[in-house]
Amino acid sequence: MRFRHALVLLLSALAPVFAGAAHAQTIAPRLSDKELWQLNTDFSEPNGYFRSDNFLSNETGFQWVIPELKRRIPPGGVYLGVGPEQNFTYIVALQPKIAFIFDIRRGNMIAHLMYKALFETSADRAEFLSKLFSRPRPSGLDTASTPAQLFAAYAAATPDSALFRRQLAEIKSYLTKTHGFVMNDSDSKLMDYTYGAFFGGGPEISYNYPNRFGGGGFGRGGMPTYATLQQATDSAGRNWAYLATEANFRWLKDFESKNLLVPIVADFAGPKAIRSVGQYLKDHHAIASAFYTSNVEQYLWQQRDDAQRFYRNVATLPLDSTSTFIRSIGGGFRGYNYPVASPQARLGGRLPSVICSIDVLLKAFTEGHLTSYGDVIALSK
């Protein structure tokens, strides 16, 4: 009788442990090519419009929040983001189990597939940049080269049109034949256009490429260049960029090789993409730990009830107290005085990025306290 009583007590004590194990995160350490493409196909929404091609970020202060993000968010969560290459730096810093990149433009999805092929087929950063910009690899570069040395070398290198054509064909073949992804004629033309932009712009490519808005000394139209962004830092002077070190590059190469970055065509206010990802995370007992929105919310607040629909979509994600929004703020945004006035942080008209608890924002939304984009920014720091 005593033994049976002790056994009952032991099993009762272990019940929460067993329950927790039964609901442990089940995100696979690797997705098959078929699984990755199925997620892309099933979750994506129709191609939409944005006023810029957005080949490159224009956010010079996006690294400033990384130290605080690392304090808040443990590794192994789920990263959600929007837009081009700045996501890679956040992903390397936070080291999630999986990442989903949303963007209303199918061109952004194609750009991420281009990057995927280049990361996976490049042995080091110097080879990656050679392929990205279609320029022969300069002598003297190795795994110890600094970003400044890498980009100075490639700024002096001559673009090679024959190399561009050969690499473009290899990228398409790698994606369609090696990975088995399906690219229609429209996708193929988008790849031509996207890869062509990096060939034409080289290390000086910027958000405004091709130059639509006039000249400027800080990249085209006063925007930061690829080289500038890869040499940016946080407020303490640390560079977290994915090309800052060979270790960062190798981590991202491995992440991409495991098919753990999933690009999706998605409208933040749309009915399908974010909610589909939310259900996928729930099915795998995973938490959305970080959601980088750039300044998309600013546009949503200008479009009927799109902001409200976005927050209702976010509310369907599995979240916890550490789940965090990451936002970018334009330097000219009225109604918000950012406490940091660093000249570096204001380069290109941008301010350091800010963060906000997703739970706190959703509570304010539910209680009717969000009436403008200014209210959103007021909750951020």
pLDDT tens track for 265-290: 999 999 999 999 999 999 999 999 99
For the chain, count helices (H), then strands (E). 16, 6
Structure tokens given for 188: 């193929």
Q: How confident is the model at residue 23 (pLDDT cuts 50, 70, 90)?
A: low
CA nearest neighbour of 46 among 129, 103, 3, 99: 103
d(C-alpha 330, C-alpha 351), whole Å: 6
CA nearest neighbour of 97 among 250, 224, 262: 262
- Beta bridge mates, 79: 99, 290
Structure tokens given for 226: 């690829």
Pinpoint the alpha helices (H) of 29-146.
Answer: 33-43, 66-72, 86-94, 106-121, 125-133
Instruction: Kindly report the backbone phi and psi dihedral angles of residue 94, in degrees, each rounded to the nearest multiple of 5, phi listed first.
Output: -90, -20
Structure tokens given for 193: 């256009």
The crossing angle, in degrees rounded to 10, of helices 306-314 and 273-283 is 10
Side-chain-side CA neighbours of 289 within 13 Å: the count stands at 22
Global pTM value: 0.89
- 3-class SS at 184? coil
pLDDT (mean) for 90-95: 98
pLDDT of residue 350: 60
pLDDT of residue 253: 98
Asked whether the predicted pLDDT for residue 372 surpasses 80, the reply is yes
d(C-alpha 328, C-alpha 266), whole Å: 19
pLDDT (mean) for 119-129: 98
Pinpoint the alpha helices (H) of 230-305.
Answer: 246-257, 273-283, 296-300
pLDDT of residue 214: 37
pLDDT (mean) for 57-85: 96
pLDDT of residue 211: 53
How many C-beta atoms lie closer than 10 Å to residue 48's C-beta? 13
220-250 pLDDT, tens digit each: 557 899 999 999 999 999 999 999 999 999 9
With beta carbons less than 8 A apart as the criterion, state whether 335 and 341 touch. Answer: no
Asked whether the predicted pLDDT for residue 178 surpasses 70, the reply is yes
Looking at the chain, the whole-number percentage of residues with pLDDT higher than 90 is 80
With beta carbons less than 8 A apart as the criterion, state whether 349 and 329 touch. Answer: no
pLDDT of residue 24: 86
3-21 pLDDT, tens digit each: 455 444 444 444 443 334 4
